[in-house]
């Protein structure tokens, strides 16, 4: 498989949100605005790339029986690293994303990629896979955030598009489920036809 298709695959064919349907918790919880969604996506991508690299290196040495605990420890380490760095340099972002930064540990995407891809492939390929899936996740979250922000507070990336108040429900919990549901319908419709 060519290097480029490794990246593009994560965005469309194996899009983690719309096709694999993994990592629903942060997808629903942090997409109250486009910026929040994007920040969450980037944070996950950071952990995904690093854990993919390290796990592809570790996989040949780790005995089969303990591989899951070892992967979890590696992922948890990178998540904590991210937590500390974010607390130090971007405390505002850390506060808005809150609980969902440490919860990257149990995001099925990260462990899923470690199990399904990184432990069978080389370092470069695993890194590229991490970038691809990470980009796909970030893009999906940004799009969901954009739709919710537009409907809920009539702005995009914090820019007020239309004056007024918007439909509050879209910023709240119900909007998350409904917007994701309809976007999934749209994604199915567009990709299945081709």
Partner 1 sequence: MVLCLGAVCLVCSALLAGVNALTEAPIKEAAEKALKESIGAVLPQGGELSEERGVSVGDQNYVYYECTLAEGSTCYAVKSTVQGFGGPLTLMVGVLSDLSINNTSVLSHSETPGLGAKCATDEGFMNQWKGFNGVLKVRKDGGDVDAITASTITSRAYTLAVEQAVAAVKAVQAQNEQTKEETNE
Partner 2 sequence: MEYFVIIISAIFVNNILLSQFLGVCPFLGVSNKVSTATGMSGAVCFVITLATVVTWLINLLLVRFNLAYLQTIAFILVIAALVQMVEIVLKKISPSLYQALGIFLPLITTNCAVLGVALSVAQKGMGLGQATVYALATSLGYGLAMILFAGIREHLSLNSVPKPFRGLPIALITAGIMAMAFLGFSGLV
Task: Could you list the beta-strand ranges (E) of the chain.
Answer: 155-156, 159-160
Provide the phi-psi class of 127: left if phi over 0, else alpha when psi is between -120 and 50, else beta. Answer: alpha
Cα angle 103, 111, 69 (rounded to 5 degrees) comes to 90
Q: Given the complex with partner 1, which of 78 and 137 has the nearer CB atom? A: 78
Contact status: 158 vs partner 1 (CB under 8 A):
no
Nearer to partner 1, 168 or 186 (CB): 168
- Does residue number 116 form part of the binding site for partner 2 (CB under 8 A)? no
- Given the complex with partner 1, which of 69 and 186 has the nearer CB atom? 69
DSSP 8-state symbol, 160: E
111 binds, among partner 2, partner 1, none (CB under 5 to 8 A by kind): partner 2
> Can residue 25 be called a binding residue for partner 2 (CB under 8 A)?
yes
Residue 110 or 128: the one with the smaller Cβ distance to partner 1 is 110
Strand-pair partners of 155: 160
Residue placing its CB nearer to partner 1 in the complex, 65 or 193: 65
**Residue 13: CA atoms inside 13 Å, Cβ hemisphere, count?**
7
- Least Å distance, CB 111 to partner 2, is 7
Q: Is 89 in the site for partner 1 (CB under 8 A)?
A: yes
CA distances, 111 to each of 45, 168, 170, 185 (Å): 13, 35, 30, 27
Q: Tokens 């910026």, residue? A: 35
> Contact at 8 Å (CB) between 29 and 104?
no
**Does the footprint of partner 2 cover residue 28 (CB under 8 A)?**
yes
Is 37 near partner 2 (CB under 8 A)?
no
- Determine if 188 is a binding residue for partner 2 (CB under 8 A): yes
Q: Binding residues for partner 2, how many (CB under 8 A)?
A: 41
Is 163 near partner 1 (CB under 8 A)?
A: no
Whether 26 contacts 103, CB under 8 Å: yes
| Phi and psi at residue 141, to the nearest 5° | -65, -40
Binding site for partner 2 (CB under 8 A): 21-26, 28-29, 69, 72-73, 76-77, 79-80, 83-84, 99, 102-103, 105-108, 111, 169, 172-178, 180-182, 184-185, 188-189, 192
């Amino acid at each position: 498989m060519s290097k480029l298709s490794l990246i593009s695959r994560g965005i469309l064919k194996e899009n983690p949100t719309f096709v694999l349907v993994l990592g629903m918790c942060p997808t629903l919880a942090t997409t109250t605005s486009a910026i929040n969604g994007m920040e969450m996506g980037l944070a996950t991508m950071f952990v995904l790339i690093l854990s993919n690299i390290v796990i592809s290196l570790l996989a040949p040495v780790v005995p089969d029986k303990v591989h899951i605990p070892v992967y979890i420890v590696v992922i948890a380490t990178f998540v904590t690293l991210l937590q500390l760095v974010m607390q130090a340099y971007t405390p505002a972002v850390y506060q808005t994303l809150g609980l969902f930064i440490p919860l990257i540990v149990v995001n099925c995407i990260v462990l899923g990629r470690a199990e399904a891809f990184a432990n069978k492939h080389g370092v470069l390929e695993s890194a590229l896979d991490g970038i691809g899936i990470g980009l796909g996740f970030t893009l999906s979250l940004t799009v969901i955030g954009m739709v919710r922000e537009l409907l809920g507070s009539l702005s995009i990336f914090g820019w007020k598009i239309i004056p007024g108040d918007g439909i509050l429900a879209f910023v709240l919990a119900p909007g998350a489920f409904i917007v994701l549901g309809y976007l999934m319908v749209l994604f199915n419709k567009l990709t299945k036809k081709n």
